């Protein structure tokens, strides 16, 4: 069965009350996992929107849920020193009883780095830092003192405590695209996330690139799980879809100029999952045919818990017999 999670844009109006309600609903509705972004302010430029710091919110999730797996999608290494991040992540894994999925990336939004005075190196350096950071983090999660000498980070007998519950380590998810980033994913990732509401044809192209990167580094691509993160809008009628479209426009302000009756079709053309429960399930099955084993449904209207209930009650059951097709993308 393909796994279904919900992904929250934590910088787009998330509050503690909303976070708790979403987590409770997702767990009760049968979602496999809960995810959240790691950004510092609204990426739509809405300065008044509240948000929650990522790792604090994950600690709360660890303590208040019992079943769902969860994690950041993804934490930019530019925000954290990897030795500190290793300790934070291990502590959250322990607090949750071993349910953390560790998503990490190179960072991509120069505006928030500039706004907060965080250095934003050129892309090549960011990717090299990501590669070293993974080595540092896994070194500290291992047994005994860790040693590493890199260009950007080093360990000289560092010992990471606590150790994660999951051994040898929580699953490592790397998100992103581009040949250099995919080579890091090929070398280190347990799971590669193809994000950004990309349609199946784009997923196939990215998979081909990842498989090429795996051959370069000498790793079997079958050892890496594939996941997809993208937005969705569900409704049992055209009227319900248009009602949700109007709410989506309040969050995704870049879509405000599109007339609401036209927005469902425009979003579907842009790679969103759009339609009734059966249509959404069929679109997820199409992604599974491209090798996707897990989908994270990007959830913008954080007050619309009915949409999550509908996915849990009428989409997820339709996917019980759907499994990912793991043949080569180039076939």
- Separation CA 72–CA 33 (nearest Å): 11
Q: Can you give the pLDDT at residue 329?
A: 60
- Separation CA 61–CA 70 (nearest Å): 8
For the chain, the domains span 3-73+170-319
Residue 172 DSSP code: E
Euclidean distance between the first and the last CA atom of the chain, given in angstroms as a whole number: 23
94 close to 165: Cβ distance less than 8 angstroms: yes
Collapsing DSSP to helix, strand or coil, 201 comes out as helix
Q: Can you give the pLDDT at residue 330?
A: 47
315 close to 2: Cβ distance less than 8 angstroms: no
Concatenating the DSSP letter of every residue in 206-236 gives: HHHHHHHHHHHHT--GGGSEEEEEEEEEE-S
- Separation CA 8–CA 34 (nearest Å): 8
In sequence order, which residues have a C-beta less than 8 Å from that of residue 182 and are 6 or more positions away? 176, 192, 206, 209, 210, 212, 213
* 58-98 per-position pLDDT tens digit: 999 999 999 999 999 999 999 999 999 999 999 999 999 99
Concatenating the DSSP letter of every residue in 146-166 gives: EEEE-SS-EEEEE--SSPPSS
Torsions phi, psi for 320 (to 5 deg): -60, -30
CATH of domain 3-73+170-319: 3.20.20.30
Q: Can you give the pLDDT at residue 233?
A: 97
- Would you state the torsion angle of the CA atoms of residues 81, 82, 88, 93, taken in this order, to the nearest 10 degrees? 160
Question: Mean pLDDT, 10 residues at a time, over the chain (331 residues)?
Answer: 96 97 98 98 94 98 97 97 98 98 96 97 97 98 96 97 96 92 97 86 90 96 96 96 94 92 94 96 95 96 97 97 76 45
- Separation CA 91–CA 164 (nearest Å): 7
95 close to 59: Cβ distance less than 8 angstroms: yes
Concatenating the DSSP letter of every residue in 3-65 gives: EEEEEE-TTSS--HHHHHHHHHHHHHHT-SEEEE---SS-TT--TT-----HHHHHHHHHHH-
What are 293's two structure tokens? Answer: 């084993």
């Amino acid at each position: 069965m393909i796994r279904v999670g919900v992904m929250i844009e934590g910088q787009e109006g998330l509050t503690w009350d909303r976070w708790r309600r979403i987590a409770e609903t997702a767990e009760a509705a049968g979602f496999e996992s809960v995810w959240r972004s790691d950004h510092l302010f609204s990426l739509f430029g809405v300065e008044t929107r509240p948000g929650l710091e990522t790792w604090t919110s994950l600690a709360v999730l660890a303590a208040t849920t019992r079943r769902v797996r969860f994690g950041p999608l993804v934490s930019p290494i530019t925000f954290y020193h990897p030795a500190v991040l290793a300790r934070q992540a291990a502590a959250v894994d322990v607090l949750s009883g071993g349910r953390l999925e560790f998503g990490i990336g190179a960072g991509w939004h120069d505006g928030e780095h500039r706004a907060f005075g965080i250095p934003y190196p050129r892309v090549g350096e960011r990717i090299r830092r990501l590669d070293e950071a993974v080595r540092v983090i896994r070194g500290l999660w291992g047994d005994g003192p860790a040693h590493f000498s890199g260009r950007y980070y080093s360990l000289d007998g560092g010992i990471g405590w606590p150790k994660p519950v999951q051994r040898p380590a929580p699953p490592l998810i790397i998100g992103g695209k581009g040949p250099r980033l995919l080579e890091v994913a090929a070398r280190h990732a347990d799971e590669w996330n193809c994000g950004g509401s990309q349609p199946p044809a784009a997923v196939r192209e990215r998979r081909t690139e990842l498989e090429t990167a795996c051959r370069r580094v000498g790793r079997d691509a079958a050892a890496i799980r594939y996941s997809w993160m993208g937005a969705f809008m569900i409704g049992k009628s055209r009227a319900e879809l248009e009602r949700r479209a109007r709410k989506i426009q309040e969050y995704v302000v870049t879509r405000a100029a599109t007339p609401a009756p036209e927005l469902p079709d425009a979003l579907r053309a842009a790679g969103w999952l759009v339609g009734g429960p059966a249509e959404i399930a069929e679109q997820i099955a199409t992604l599974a045919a491209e090798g996707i084993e897990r989908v994270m449904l990007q959830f913008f209207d954080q007050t619309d818990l009915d949409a999550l209930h509908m996915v849990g009650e009428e989409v997820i059951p339709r996917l019980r017999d759907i499994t990912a097709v793991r043949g080569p993308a180039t076939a």
